[in-house]
């Protein structure tokens, strides 16, 4: 699956590393920097560097992954779709509501844009979604996600609840409290000081289901704040890695999501995820065994592969622009509700038609 990349930041480098780990599956044809590169930068990339979009497309990619930032994404989407090129945009597709709406008016009907929302594809999240969709806990009625920020968390909530592009009432509050941040994107900070840190909690009322959002600044990289997931249904619930359900008139059982990780103790296999199962039924199997990928990389690889198959008319859309626009719209509502203290009503937009 041959693709090109616009951008040279953290996400672009992560996708380049992933493609290098799976050379039989992915081929990066070239990269278009969003800032000037010196010789050391070019050597570190180890890829052909294009001077402009025309030169990038001259390498004949099947699609273009854009990672130049949400301020640049809308115009890139317009230019790529004007040229008839399938595009995979990093999240979020636009920074604000009006820009989202304008982007949809310009490119929504062309059917060429997908968005790189990988969080529902994370192995444990995907296993939980599979368990919910199998009906084990009945009809899902509420979910809580404390894992990642706004639009990513909303994507997970909507997937767990089976909520489409529907109306919602959003309420949110914030709380500032001291917290140590021992790890950043650059690694260990060696900072043991407590810093004022904001936690945002929100309720998204979809009518038949309710989503609960809980996120602390820096949580995705702070080992002092674990991820938490709760899904409640009409016949049971999921709390993190445990599923409780009614199996007959007088029997309630609790089962665990079992993660088979190779390379532990005296296991001489490569250290990586093999599968996630529940009561002997495999809910998620790592398609990239042998590549030694992290869960994040597995999700990213799954997204890229799905994009390639969609472009080749061999599979469904990996994550449509309409869904990503809805996630961002709800994420913006969380922010606005937390800032104003008022309830924010999110209504159906053109992408929900």
**Domain presence at residue 348:** no
- Is the predicted pLDDT of residue 232 greater than 90, yes or no? yes
Q: How far apart are CA 12 and CA 218, in angstroms?
A: 21
pLDDT at position 189 is: 95
- Is the predicted pLDDT of residue 233 greater than 90, yes or no? yes
- Domain-terminating residue out of 276, 294, 312: 294
Instruction: Specify whether 161 is located in the same domain as 64.
Output: no
**Beta carbons of 1 and 22 less than 8 angstroms apart:** no
Q: What is the pLDDT of residues 138-170, one digit of tens each?
A: 999 999 999 999 999 999 999 999 999 999 999
- Domain-terminating residue out of 277, 294, 311: 294
Would you call 175 helix, strand, or coil by DSSP?
A: strand
157: domain CATH number is: 3.30.360
Q: Which residue in 190, 205, 180, 156 sits closest to 334, CA to CA?
A: 205
**What does the pLDDT average to over 216-230?**
96
pLDDT at position 40 is: 81
Instruction: Specify whether 143 is located in the same domain as 101.
Output: no
Instruction: Specify whether 49 is located in the same domain as 128.
Output: no
**Domain presence at residue 255:** yes
Which pTM does this prediction carry? Answer: 0.96
**Beta carbons of 18 and 300 less than 8 angstroms apart:** yes
**Domain presence at residue 260:** yes
**What does the pLDDT average to over 73-102?**
97
Instruction: Specify whether 95 is located in the same domain as 128.
Output: no
Instruction: Specify whether 182 is located in the same domain as 41.
Output: no
**Domain presence at residue 333:** no
Would you call 212 helix, strand, or coil by DSSP?
A: strand
Q: What is the DSSP string of 75-136?
A: HHHHHHHHTT--EEEPSPS-SSHHHHHHHHHHHGGG--EEE---GGGSHHHHHHHHHHHTTT
Q: What is the pLDDT of residues 295-348, one digit of tens each?
A: 999 999 999 999 999 999 999 999 999 999 999 999 999 999 999 999 999 999
pLDDT at position 34 is: 84
pLDDT at position 278 is: 98
Domain count, the chain: 2
Task: Say which residue, 107 or 270, is predicted with more confidence.
Answer: 107
Percentage of the chain lying above the pLDDT 70 cut: 100
Domain residues for the domain of 251 are 120-294
Instruction: Specify whether 222 is located in the same domain as 125.
Output: yes
**Domain presence at residue 143:** yes
Structure tokens at 213: 């959002």
Instruction: Specify whether 57 is located in the same domain as 159.
Output: no
- Is the predicted pLDDT of residue 231 greater than 90, yes or no? yes
Q: What is the pLDDT of residues 19-75, one digit of tens each?
A: 999 999 999 999 999 888 887 888 888 899 999 999 999 999 999 999 999 999 999
Instruction: Specify whether 140 is located in the same domain as 180.
Output: yes
What φ, ψ does residue 26 adopt, rounded to 5°? Answer: -120, 145
**What does the pLDDT average to over 111-137?**
98
- Domain-terminating residue out of 294, 311, 332: 294
């Amino acid at each position: 699956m041959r693709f090109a990349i616009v951008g040279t930041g953290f996400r672009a480098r992560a996708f380049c590393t992933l493609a290098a780990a799976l050379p039989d599956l992915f081929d990066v044809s070239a990269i278009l920097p969003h800032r000037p590169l010196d010789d050391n930068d070019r050597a570190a990339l180890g890829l052909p560097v294009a001077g402009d979009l025309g030169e990038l497309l001259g390498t004949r990619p099947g699609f273009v992954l854009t990672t130049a930032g949400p301020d640049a994404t809308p115009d890139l989407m317009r230019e790529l779709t004007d040229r008839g090129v399938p595009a995979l945009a990093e999240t979020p597709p636009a920074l604000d509501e009006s820009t989202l709406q304008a982007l949809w008016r310009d490119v929504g009907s062309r059917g060429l844009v997908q968005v790189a929302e990988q969080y529902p594809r994370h192995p444990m999240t995907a296993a939980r979604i599979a368990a919910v969709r199998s009906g084990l806990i009945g009809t899902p009625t509420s979910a809580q996600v404390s894992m990642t920020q706004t639009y990513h968390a909303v994507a997970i909530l909507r997937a767990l609840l089976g909520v489409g592009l529907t109306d919602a009432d959003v309420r949110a509050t914030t709380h500032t409290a001291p917290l140590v941040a021992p790890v950043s994107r650059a690694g260990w900070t060696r900072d043991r000081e407590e810093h004022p840190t904001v936690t945002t909690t929100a309720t998204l009322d979809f009518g038949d289901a309710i989503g609960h959002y809980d996120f602390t600044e820096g949580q995705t990289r702070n080992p002092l704040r674990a991820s938490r997931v709760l899904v409640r249904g009409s016949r049971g619930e999921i709390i993190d890695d445990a599923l409780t359900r009614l199996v007959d008139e007088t029997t309630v059982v609790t089962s665990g999501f079992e993660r088979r990780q190779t390379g532990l103790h005296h296991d001489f296999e490569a250290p990586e995820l093999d599968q996630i199962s529940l009561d002997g039924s495999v809910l998620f199997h790592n398609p990239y065994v042998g590549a030694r990928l992290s869960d994040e990389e597995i999700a990213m690889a799954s997204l890229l592969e799905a994009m390639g198959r969609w472009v080749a008319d061999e599979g469904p859309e990996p994550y449509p622009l309409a869904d990503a626009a809805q996630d961002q719209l709800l994420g913006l509502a969380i922010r606005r509700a937390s800032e104003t203290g008022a309830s924010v009503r999110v209504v159906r937009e053109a992408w929900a038609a």
